[in-house]
Amino acid sequence: MNRLFHYPLSPFSRKVRLTLAEKRIEVDLVEERYWEQDPDFLRRNPAGKVPVLRYGNRIMADSTAICEYLEEVQPNPPLMPRLPEARYEVRRLVAWFDDKFHAEVTCKLLGERVFRKVMGTGYPDSANVKAGARAIKEHLDYMTALLEQRRWIAGNDLSLADFAAAAHLSCLDYISDVDWNRSETVKDWYAKIKSRPAFRSILADQIPGFPPPAHYADLDF
Amino acid sequence: MNRLFHYPLSPFSRKVRLTLAEKRIEVDLVEERYWEQDPDFLRRNPAGKVPVLRYGNRIMADSTAICEYLEEVQPNPPLMPRLPEARYEVRRLVAWFDDKFHAEVTCKLLGERVFRKVMGTGYPDSANVKAGARAIKEHLDYMTALLEQRRWIAGNDLSLADFAAAAHLSCLDYISDVDWNRSETVKDWYAKIKSRPAFRSILADQIPGFPPPAHYADLDF
């Protein structure tokens, strides 16, 4: 059986979970407190991060490399367009969310408000939380600008870029850090993606000590 | 004419320069002091980073998305293998160098010793420099372990993973921060890649105030 070592509020794990579910690839989910650097886990992935996928007899790390691999071995339903220009745009936006959004928003809000407590690394730094709260507004505006020109984040079809974006936003929504009133456009996009069957397991996540708000799993939020 | 907005000691810019040169795609190089956040530059790339490629009438950002695009539109000579498993390994290792090596080594050595001065953000933090000097040893050992099993970093053919690795190491070599005596295996690999025509422009780089050591451009270092 395929197995995904993940952490529920890791956006990189969520991106891979969404991709696996959309492509109907069954996996056992194994929660991994990766920051404890268990030697067995480090043997599987010397980078020491989640997600790690055991796929057949292969052990795979790096969420983007995993998603590109899954797209190549299981191309249906497609999460990458055909044309090089459109594929470029998907990859640019996956990197946008996994690098820029992650550094400016996810680390500053989720990192300070949840991971510090879970990992036992002290109290939230309020300057970081403030910076994250400011940055998410700009990112929602950027997403609005994109979604006003296209049906999905990177083009007219659902792609890995939507899953990257939704992975980060869903983690932040778990701690009520997304102001859905800021953009009707982004809210509509999130409602569409949230109602996909692939999203179900993510909406059922529970972190001990951090109960999700009622709207988190509500498709009609 | 195609144009690459880059910074000479940016490893991400170097990865794209190597890919363009290997594929014999001609570009004008335009040095961009991206941290000054010139409005014209930000219009080209809202992420505010180098490299940015003007290719035909397209403006493209994100070094990995650019390299994958170039591989798709100009597949010869190939910098990606054919099989999904081998392509996965290339992508995993590109991310290894651009994320992990970058955070643990490049930022801590080049970031502290060069970029602080160039950007005017104060003196080097010696704890970071020490951590970087320690981390590069582990990374050189990891590269040795890989290269003892394969001719190139990700397999038996030259790939984007070699260019990602060489981009970071060449920036560090510019400031004499690579101890080539640590691994004959890594040194042989670097000598092979350094002697490729694609490497020439990188060996000619000069940063005002930071003259490169004599061995930097020497193919017989």
Say how many CA atoms lie within 13 Å of B188 toward its Cβ. 10
The DSSP symbol for B5 reads E
- pLDDT tens, position by position, B59-72: 999 999 999 999 99
Strand partners, B206: none
Mean pLDDT of all residues in B36-43: 89
Chain A residues whose C-beta sits inside 8 Å of any chain B C-beta: 46-47, 58, 60-62, 64-66, 68-69, 72-73, 84-85, 87-88, 91-92, 95-96, 99-100, 142
Residue A70 banded pLDDT, cuts 50, 70, 90? very high
Q: Which residues, other chains included, contact B34 with Cβ-Cβ below 8 Å and sequence gap of 6+?
A: B5, B7, B10, B41, B48, B49, B50
Residues of B in contact with A58 (CB under 8 A): 85
Which pLDDT value is given to residue A46? 86
In this prediction, residues B35-46 reach a mean pLDDT of 88
**Residue B1 pLDDT > 90, yes or no?**
no
What's the whole-number mean pLDDT along residues B27-39? 93
| Confidence grade of residue A44 (pLDDT, cut at 50, 70, 90) | confident
Confidence class of residue B44 from pLDDT cuts 50, 70 and 90? confident
Alpha helical stretches, state H, B49-174: 63-73, 84-95, 116-119, 126-147, 160-174
For the stretch A74-83, pLDDT in tens is 999 999 999 9
Interface of B with A (CB under 8 A): 46-47, 58, 60-62, 64-66, 68-69, 72-73, 84-85, 87-88, 91-92, 95-96, 100, 142
Q: What is the pLDDT of residues A158-188, one digit of tens each?
A: 999 999 999 999 999 999 999 999 999 999 9
The pair of structure tokens assigned to B188 is 């042989």
pLDDT surpasses 90 at A1: no
Cβ proximity of B106 and B165 under 8 Å: no
Instruction: State whether A91 and B69 contact (CB < 8 Å).
Output: yes
Is B92–A142 a contact, with Cβ atoms under 8 angstroms apart?
A: no
The radius of gyration of chain B's CA atoms, rounded to the nearest angstrom, is 17
Chain A partners of B62 at a C-beta cutoff of 8 Å? Answer: 91-92, 95-96
Among B45, B92, B93, B159, the residue to mutate for chain A (most A Cβ within 10 A): B92
Q: What is the Cα–Cα distance from B207 to A46, expressed in whole angstroms?
A: 35
Q: Tokens 């035909």 belong to which residue?
A: B56
- Residue A103 pLDDT greater than 90, yes or no: yes
pLDDT attached to residue B79: 98
Q: Could you tell me the domains of chain A?
A: 84-196 (1.20.1050.10)
Comparing CA positions, the residue from A25, A21, A118, A30 lying closest to residue A74 is A25
Where does residue A201 rank: exposed (0-12), middle (13-18), buried (19+ CB within 10 A)? middle
> DSSP secondary-structure letter at A207?
B
Residue A143's pLDDT band, with cuts at 50, 70 and 90, is very high
Choose among A73, A84, A142: nearest Cβ to B73: A84
Q: Which helix (H) or strand (E) is A84 found in, with range?
A: helix A84-95
Residues A168, A173, A179, A184: what is their CA dihedral angle, to the nearest 10 degrees? 70
Quick check: A46 and B92 CB within 8 A?
no
- Residues in B closer than 8 angstroms to A68, CB to CB, are 87-88, 91
pLDDT band at B145 (very low <50, low <70, confident <90, very high): very high
Place B46 in a pLDDT band, splitting at 50, 70 and 90. Answer: confident
Collapsed DSSP state (helix, strand, coil) of residue A5: strand
Which chain B residues are closer than 8 Å to A95 by Cβ?
A: 62, 64-65
The confidence score (pLDDT) of residue B47 equals: 86
Q: Give the span between the Cα atoms of A102 and A105, in whole angstroms.
A: 6
Return the pLDDT at B219: 93
Residue B86, φ and ψ in degrees, nearest 5: -70, -35
B145 contact residues in A (CB cutoff 8 A): none
Residues B72, A10: Cα–Cα separation, whole Å: 31
Q: Residue A106 and residue A104: Cα distance in Å, rounded?
A: 7
Chain A nearest-CA residue for B92:
A65
pLDDT of B37 reads 87
Over residues B76-86, the mean pLDDT reads 98
